[in-house]
Amino acid sequence: MKNKRFPYYLLYIFLACTGCTTDDDGIGEDPEYTLRIPSHFPVPPEYPDNPMTTAGIELGEKLFFDTRLSGTNTVSCGTCHQPRLAFSEGSRLSVKGVSGKPLLRHVPTLINMAWADNGLFWDGGSTNLESQAFAPLAHEDEMFQNLDELITELREDPEYVSYFRRAFDSDIRINQVMKALAQYQRSLVSADSKYDSHIENGTPLTAIEKQGHQLFKNHCATCHTPGLFTDNDYHNNGLDATFGDTSHDEIYLGRYRVTRNREDLGKYKTPTLRNITVTAPYMHDGRFADLRSVLDFYDRDVQDSETLDPALKQNNRSGIALSEEDKSALIAFLHTLTDKTYVR
């Protein structure tokens, strides 16, 4: 008799555990994934609506490199975010989208995305990776995918059916595609450069790297804050003096088009300097081909305007006075930010 007793308390526990679920997305069988947080990084934000799991990240990686995500089945996220270029694309304005037309902004890198909690895109037009992915997927010059059709395509693939089952304990749905892509991108941590080894283990820098490091701390670290080497904020770094071109939904006005605040005219998100040596060309429109050109710009060509960042308007001049030797030293330092384990 004793052996036959039904463990009623299990029923209670079951009811207690299932009764209050509000989100219908489950978490698969392996909810454990611990994001690597390097000791000299800030604490990353939490993502309670989309906790990272090993299965979710694996699924996200598979989706990220799957050309079926585009309407023509020829373009994947990885087409323009290439791991060997620290998830950038290499050209000024990419023509790799399905229409072959040049995009209006330079492909951003994907580095330490778990810490990117202040908007995505160069102007912060998207709040999180889960929403952001809809734009390239749907845009006619990027992947131009019919989202309904994408789900049908993925459901025809038994491997995906099982992947979604494992990651989300559910059928394939578009919002889980977005969640998986976000999880994969957040798992991309770059913190194994010579600089990191210097900070964490005292690996010595060469004389010129050291000199560059000091210059960097004096002139660059305000916005390119170590250890992420970005403050995740928006600045007008003086690329242009005026903002008159309102074409293409005001894309040339910077963050202004998102906030409608005139103080945000010409502001763009600070890109990380991690892996900067492999992510040329530079700026939101890819206008500078190499690092020397970028430093020449900061030295000589910073344009004054009402919204120019105060950090670039000191000592009665715009920009940052740098000697040619300074520039060489800074470039030597920037090379210490390349993470060979990340760029593959």
> Judged by CB under 8 A, which of 2, 23, 32, 39 binds other proteins?
23
DSSP code per residue over 159-196: HHHHHHHHHHSS---HHHHHHHHHHHHHT-----SHHH
AA identity, residue 23: D
> Judged by CB under 8 A, which of 92, 179, 284, 327 binds other proteins?
179
- Please list the residues that pair with 201 across neighbouring strands: none
Would you say 223 is a known binding-site residue?
yes
Would you say 17 is a known binding-site residue?
no
Instruction: Give yes or no for residue 314 binding other proteins (CB under 8 A).
Output: no
For residue 236, CA distances in Å to 179, 188, 220, 255, 318 come to 32, 28, 14, 9, 12
Residue window 52-91: x/- pattern of binding to other proteins, with contact defined by CB under 8 A: -------------------x--------------------
Residue window 244-273: x/- pattern of binding to other proteins, with contact defined by CB under 8 A: -----xx------xx-x-------------
Report angle CA 236, 239, 242 to the nearest 5 degrees: 85
Q: How far is the CB of 121 from other proteins (least distance, A)?
A: 6
The smaller minimum CB distance to other proteins, of residues 124 and 212, is found at 124
Instruction: Give yes or no for residue 16 binding other proteins (CB under 8 A).
Output: yes
Q: What is the 3-state secondary structure (H, E, C) of 224-243?
A: CCCCCCCCCCEEECCCCCCC
* Stretch of 17-25, 35-43, 207-215, 228-236 contacting other proteins, by CB under 8 A: 17-25
* Stretch of 22-30, 76-84, 224-232, 326-334 contacting other proteins, by CB under 8 A: 22-30
For residues 199 and 337, the answer to whether their CB atoms sit within 8 Å is no
Instruction: Give yes or no for residue 114 binding other proteins (CB under 8 A).
Output: no
> Judged by CB under 8 A, which of 15, 95, 207, 311 binds other proteins?
15
Instruction: Give yes or no for residue 226 binding other proteins (CB under 8 A).
Output: no
Instruction: Enter the tokens of residue 292.
Output: 């020397």
* Stretch of 11-19, 107-115, 186-194, 276-284 contacting other proteins, by CB under 8 A: 11-19
> Judged by CB under 8 A, which of 2, 3, 4, 24 binds other proteins?
24
Name residues whose C-beta falls within 8 Å of residue 14's C-beta, 6 or more positions apart in sequence: none
Q: How far is the CB of 262 from other proteins (least distance, A)?
A: 12
Distance CA 145, CA 50 (A): 23
Q: How far is the CB of 269 from other proteins (least distance, A)?
A: 13
Name residues whose C-beta falls within 8 Å of residue 112's C-beta, 6 or more positions apart in sequence: 41, 188, 189, 190, 191, 228, 272, 274
For residues 109 and 134, the answer to whether their CB atoms sit within 8 Å is no
> Judged by CB under 8 A, which of 40, 72, 84, 149 binds other proteins?
149
> Judged by CB under 8 A, which of 57, 75, 137, 280 binds other proteins?
137
Phi-psi region of 319 (alpha: psi -120 to 50; beta: other; left: phi over 0): left
Distance CA 153, CA 159 (A): 12
Count of Cβ atoms closer than 10 Å to residue 95 Cβ:
13
Q: How far is the CB of 249 from other proteins (least distance, A)?
A: 5
Would you say 335 is a known binding-site residue?
no
Residues within the interface to other proteins (CB under 8 A) = 8-9, 11-12, 15-16, 19-20, 22-25, 49-50, 71, 121, 125-128, 130-132, 134-135, 137-140, 144-149, 173-176, 178-179, 182, 249-250, 257-258, 260
